Structure 1
Amino acid sequence: MKEAISHQFTTQNMSQNKTSGDLGFLYIAMGNDYFREAEKSAETLQDEMQDFPITLITDKKECHSEHFDSINVVEDVSYSFGDVVNYIDQSPYDKTVYLDTDIYIQSDISEVFNMLEECDIAASVAENKWHMQHYDLEHPVKGVPEAFPWFNGGVIAFTKNKRTSRFFDLWRSEYRQDVQNGIIHNMPSLRCALYFSNIQLAPLPRRYNCLVRAANKTTGQIKVFHGRLEAFDALGASKEADIQIATKVLNNTTDPRIYIPLTDGSFEIIDETPVSIRTRYQSSNLIYRLIGSIQQHGIKNTLQTIYNKSLGYLNNFYN
């Protein structure tokens, strides 16, 4: 399939200041909904990394956007997870960071390109089990030992060389077999291709691909949030968590923490600081709670809460 689609590009250069070269970002968006979401994602990327070029691969024949430096229009599309598999290696850059359309960039991530000096591909380990629910994970899947992790395809950094070329060929081949067997997602074939390809693979920390639609744990500053930016009938996931709330709440602290998305779009944050560290503050439960409140809500809000509660206690006492 790679040979059949490799010459179907119509390229629109949107910017004269950035050109195809060593480093760049890639989006693949088929259909109006994904195109609009890709624009939103690219806008967050431009806010943090305006010096890096961004390429979009899409089926929209007449589209113009200030958020992409080049737009490559293709015709042979399936509107499935296979579009990413078929076109991801058509990036014009020597070193590429591919992003799903439902990615929100919170901070500069140029250090990901530095990893590609020593490895071929970098991606984060998948913690969400939705894509794996049809498999017996206690036995090999597609010949891959259970000890080999699953990887999320929402953020994939890769460099162009013979090893990654063979990897993408194998990914396409394995994906076609999966589709014939009724498996529509590309994660099983991605895992298989990563394992059986002779590539140098590096894991990305969760904060470079933080899924916000399911409970998980993280530490440090989250730089890349992964969750729907637009509400539409998407293949992968619906817009359950509010990405704007996530970017504000989940980075209130860099300490180890568990986050739980709630039904109203907000999040519950649970401190996961090791018990050995917490015990330093537990000589007084009041002091521990005070410190925790200041860390989570700030001094001003904590003092306001103490004041309001004190007034309530006094009113109850005298009444």
Structure 2
Amino acid sequence: MNNLQSNGVIYIVTGENCSYEACQSAISLKRHNPDLSITIFTDQQVQEDCFERVIPISTYIYNSCRQSAKLSYLAQSPYQNTLYLDSDTYICDDIRELFMLLEKFDLAAAHASQRWGVEYTVENIPDCFPEFNAGILLFKKSPQVEEFFNTWLSLYQRDLKRNLVSNYLPDQPTFREAIYHSNLRVATLTPEYNCRFIQPGFVNKAVKILHGRHFNLSNIAETINVNNKRRIHYMGMRGNLKIVKHHQDLTQVKQYIRFRQSLQQRGWRETFVLALKEIFKK
């Protein structure tokens, strides 16, 4: 793994609420990753001592659009290898292995659980090309990555002028567009490193990063990581996380499928004979 001094985490937030969220997220990060350096870009006064750097955001840059601030400051990360986190994240475990990806890739992100393709389409990109969630980004510092961020910001500002989506303009569609037309080596993170628990999903192994707002994120982390087997999660009506355990032993399922296939291909008589042979073998 690279020297930890070259690895770090950044938050880019505006407004009191998001700054407070970032502080809580950073506390959870430090709990499991005490040697990771954290920098916050913000327009607020931050008192938490879990940040190694606090860099002020000029209000004229984002002009009341927090996504513009994010896109403007990503390239200003003080680290060679950077993990960007949205403020509404909660770190459940050691996540330093993420930086190993940057030994082979330029950027990494997880597939988006919510895609904007219906309301916000991008021309000349096939539907089969995925939309990534831009709330958790891993990237290395390089001229190519900096050029990518500049392109992303330009595309986002272009669509701000178009006013494509009322009241809120997501940054995921332009992120997808910028990636599609770039030459970056992009790795896809598994859902365990960007678990959008507020929407139905599937995870396998331990969830490392929760992404979403909830009044008790520590409880969500405990519930979703009650075991690390295959499981489906969804949010209940009262804000409590529901877990559906996936059936682990597939032996009976496979036997039933073989039985049905044998009936179709061989008929009852030959299937019965083969079944007897299997039984007596055991």
TM-score (norm 2): 0.82
TM-aligned CA deviation for residue 77 of structure 1:
2.5
1:121 equivalent among 90, 96, 107: 107
Bigger Cα displacement from structure 2, 142-151 vs 270-279: 270-279
> Which amino acid counterpart does residue 174 of structure 1 have in structure 2?
L
Matching of residue 154 in structure 1 with residue 101 in structure 2: no
Matching of residue 78 in structure 1 with residue 63 in structure 2: yes
What is the aligned length? 245
> Which amino acid counterpart does residue 25 of structure 2 have in structure 1?
S
TM-aligned CA deviation for residue 48 of structure 1:
0.6
**SS at 2:10's partner residue?**
strand
Bigger Cα displacement from structure 2, 211-220 vs 97-106: 211-220
Task: Determine the C-alpha separation between the residues in 2 that align with 1:79 and 1:274.
Answer: 49
User: Where does 1:285-296 land on structure 2 (aligned, <5 Å)?
Assistant: none
User: Where does 1:234-245 land on structure 2 (aligned, <5 Å)?
Assistant: 239=214, 242-245=216-219
CA offsets per residue over residues 185-230 of structure 1, 9 Å max, x none? 11111011111111000000000000011111111100000111xx
CA offsets per residue over residues 55-96 of structure 1, 9 Å max, x none? 000112x43321211000021323322211111111000100
CA offsets per residue over residues 213-251 of structure 1, 9 Å max, x none? 1111111100000111xxxxxxxxxx4x74233111111
| Residue of structure 2 in register with 1:39 after alignment | 23
Task: Determine the C-alpha separation between the residues in 2 that align with 1:251 and 1:220.
Answer: 8
User: Where does 1:1-319 land on structure 2 (aligned, <5 Å)?
Assistant: 21-60=5-44, 62-75=45-58, 76-80=61-65, 81-129=67-115, 131-135=116-120, 141-183=122-164, 184-228=169-213, 239=214, 242-273=216-247, 276-277=250-251
> Which amino acid counterpart does residue 243 of structure 1 have in structure 2?
L
Q: How many percent of aligned residue pairs carry the same amino acid? A: 30
Q: 8 Å contact 2:7–2:36 — kept in the other structure?
A: yes
**SS at 1:210's partner residue?**
coil
**SS at 1:119's partner residue?**
coil
Structure 1, unmatched stretches of 5+, are 1-19, 229-238, 281-319
TM-aligned CA deviation for residue 274 of structure 1:
5.5
> Which amino acid counterpart does residue 143 of structure 2 have in structure 1?
K
Task: Determine the C-alpha separation between the residues in 2 that align with 1:79 and 1:135.
Answer: 21
**SS at 1:179's partner residue?**
helix
TM-score (norm 1): 0.72
Q: 8 Å contact 1:21–1:92 — kept in the other structure?
A: no
**SS at 1:248's partner residue?**
helix
Bigger Cα displacement from structure 2, 36-45 vs 177-186: 177-186
**SS at 1:154's partner residue?**
strand
**SS at 1:104's partner residue?**
strand
Bigger Cα displacement from structure 2, 160-169 vs 38-47: 160-169
- Change beyond 3 A, Cα 1:277–1:264: farther
Task: Determine the C-alpha separation between the residues in 2 that align with 1:275 and 1:63.
Answer: 50
Structure 2, unmatched stretches of 5+, are 255-282
Q: 8 Å contact 2:19–2:46 — kept in the other structure?
A: no
CA offsets per residue over residues 253-302 of structure 1, 9 Å max, x none? 2111111100212122112236624659xxxxxxxxxxxxxxxxxxxxxx
Q: CA RMSD in A?
A: 2.0
